[in-house]
Structure 1
Amino acid sequence: MKLNVGVPNSMHVAAMVQPWEYALSGSDIGIAMKVADELGYNKCMLGEHFVVPQSHIELSGDHYFHTTVALGYIGGQTKNLRLSSSVSILPLQSPLVHAKAWSTLDWLSGGRAEALFGVGWLKEEFDMLNVSFEKRGRMADEYLASIIALWTQEKPEFEGEFVRFRDIGFAPKPLQAPRLPIWLGGDAEAVLKRVAKFADGWSPFRTPPEKFPDCLDFIKSQSEYDGRPISMFFALEMLNVGAHHEILDDPRAPGSRSTQQIIDQIGWLKELGITETIVPLPPGISGMDEYVDRLRWVAAEIMPRIG
């Protein structure tokens, strides 16, 4: 099991954020991620929204980074930590812009980028950016195919309903060959089919954990699945977040200070097919110093015992 780390103060979702995070500066975030890097955490992860309507701010907050910009900053502070979105909203930017941003991040970071895309859920955000919410699934399929073409073809070309290009050059390509890893987040059957066709990893959100093995079997049963390994990410704190960021108060979500309880939780997730997780923070973290101490404690007490 690989242990990832969420980027603190990168989003203000009420069901997940703790008050101490609000005081962190960009410099503090860079220092925290540098510590995580030195301790051997696998990757950092952060979410994305561009605008949030006032009606959603109480639960969702309005503080979000542009994922690839923020990950570029973190990449400059670290050496080995892999750099992942969670999630980048695929239909809200041109696939040519997505492809360029992620290949740039991968090239400059020495091949550490991993794109975790989602189709989005906040209709008002789509409306404000003049993107069709109803067509976002079809757009996602074309965007993924066209991004892969840009990353892998010497002379990229693509012809679709939403994306068309030919007779172009595209460089730099991602440093990772044949392309950087693509993950997809979400729970709908269409997402699982998209994972089978395009992705290297799946990040469920509201799927009950007990159903993860069945979902993985469904992915691998699709005709377009080619036998590649499918990684899975899930963090227990996500059990506390509803589909529209409602607070669910799931008793399994809060972090623990018990070594054995954390190891048992990770063992349960591993049995369900999860390959990467985040150890949730316990309630009541007081600030940056205690957060960094928690990173060190997990690295010393948990990492060596989970394999």
Structure 2
Amino acid sequence: MKLNIGVPNSMKVAAMVQPWEDKLNGADVGQLMATADALGFNKCMLGEHFIIPKEHVDLSGDWYFHTVVALGYIGGQTKNLRLSSSVSILPLQNPIVQAKGWSTLDWLTGGRAEALFGVGWLKEEFDMLGVPFNKRGRMADEYVAAIIELWTKDDPEFEGEFVNFKNCGFAPKPIQQPRIPIWFGGDAEPVLKRVAKFGDGWSPFRTPPETFPDCIDLIKSQPEYDGRPLNFFFALEMLNVGAHHEILDDPRAPGTGDKQKILDQIGWLKQLGITETIVPLPPGLTDAQAWIDRQQWVAEEIMPAI
């Protein structure tokens, strides 16, 4: 099991944020990620929205970074930490521009980028960006195919309903071969089929954990799955977040200082097929030093045991 880490003060979803994060500036966030890097965490993860309608701000917040920009900054503060979105909303940006952003990130950070794409759920955000919400699934399939074409072909060419290019050059290519790992987040059956066709990993959101093995079997049973290695991420803190960021107060979501309980939780996730997780923060942290102390404890007590 690999242990990932969330980026403090990168979003303000009411079900997940803690008040102390508001005091952090950019330099503070960079220093915390450098600490996580030195402690041996596998990957940092941060979410993305571009604009939030007023009626959703109370639960979702309106504080979100542009994923690739933020990960580029974090990449400059770290040496080994892998750099992941969670998630980037695939249909909301031109795929050529997205391919360029991710390949630039990968090239500049020595091959540490991991793209975790979702199709989005907030219709009003799509409306404000002029993207047809009811076409987002078809757009996502086409966009990811176009991105892979740009990353992997010397003479990229693509003809589709939403994107077309030919007789063009695209560089730099990603350092990672054959390409940057692509994950998909979400729960619907089309998401699982997208993982089977294109993906290197799946990150469920509202899927009941007990059903993860069946979902993984479904992914691997698809005719387009070619047997490539797959990874699966789930964080227990997501059990506290509803489909539209409602607060659910699931007793399994908060972090604890009970080492055995954490190990049991991780063991349970491993049995369900999960390969990467985040150890949840306990409630009531007061400042950045408390966050550092917690992550150091995780690195010393939990990492060696798993």
What band does the TM-score fall into relative to the shorter chain? Answer: over 0.9
AA aligned to 1:242 is G
AA aligned to 2:115 is A
Residue equivalent to 1:97? 97
Residue equivalent to 2:128? 128
Residue equivalent to 1:56? 56
Once the two structures are TM-superposed, the CA of residue 73 in structure 1 deviates from its matched residue by 0.2
Instruction: Specify the SS of the correspondent of 1:245.
Output: coil
AA aligned to 1:107 is W
Instruction: Specify the SS of the correspondent of 2:147.
Output: helix
Superimposed CA distance per residue, residues 20-55 of structure 1 (whole angstroms, 9 cap, x where no aligned partner): 111111001000000000010000000000000000
Residue equivalent to 1:233? 233
User: In structure 2, how many angstroms separate the alpha carbons of the residues matched to 1:12 and 1:97?
Assistant: 27
Residue equivalent to 1:42? 42
AA aligned to 1:173 is K
AA aligned to 1:203 is S
- For structure 2, the 5+ residue unaligned runs are none
Aligned pairs for 1:194-233 within 5 A: 194-233=194-233
User: In structure 2, how many angstroms separate the alpha carbons of the residues matched to 1:263 and 1:24?
Assistant: 30
AA aligned to 1:262 is I
Residue equivalent to 2:106? 106
Aligned pairs for 1:133-212 within 5 A: 133-212=133-212
Superimposed CA distance per residue, residues 272-299 of structure 1 (whole angstroms, 9 cap, x where no aligned partner): 0000000000000011000001110000
Residue equivalent to 1:272? 272
Question: How many percent of aligned residue pairs carry the same amino acid?
Answer: 77
Aligned pairs for 1:46-85 within 5 A: 46-85=46-85
Once the two structures are TM-superposed, the CA of residue 229 in structure 1 deviates from its matched residue by 1.1
Instruction: Specify the SS of the correspondent of 2:290.
Output: helix
User: In structure 2, how many angstroms separate the alpha carbons of the residues matched to 1:21 and 1:173?
Assistant: 36
Once the two structures are TM-superposed, the CA of residue 230 in structure 1 deviates from its matched residue by 1.1
AA aligned to 1:157 is E
Once the two structures are TM-superposed, the CA of residue 242 in structure 1 deviates from its matched residue by 0.4
Instruction: Specify the SS of the correspondent of 1:83.
Output: strand
Residue equivalent to 2:297? 297
Once the two structures are TM-superposed, the CA of residue 190 in structure 1 deviates from its matched residue by 0.4
User: In structure 2, how many angstroms separate the alpha carbons of the residues matched to 1:87 and 1:23?
Assistant: 24
Q: Which runs of 4+ in 1 moved over 6 A?
A: none
AA aligned to 2:274 is I
TM-score, structure 2 normalization = 1.00
AA aligned to 1:217 is D
User: In structure 2, how many angstroms separate the alpha carbons of the residues matched to 1:178 and 1:171?
Assistant: 15
> How many matched pairs?
306
- For structure 1, the 5+ residue unaligned runs are none
Q: Once superposed, what is the RMSD of the aligned Cα atoms? A: 0.3
User: In structure 1, how many angstroms separate the alpha carbons of the residues matched to 2:222 and 2:43?
Assistant: 29
AA aligned to 2:109 is S
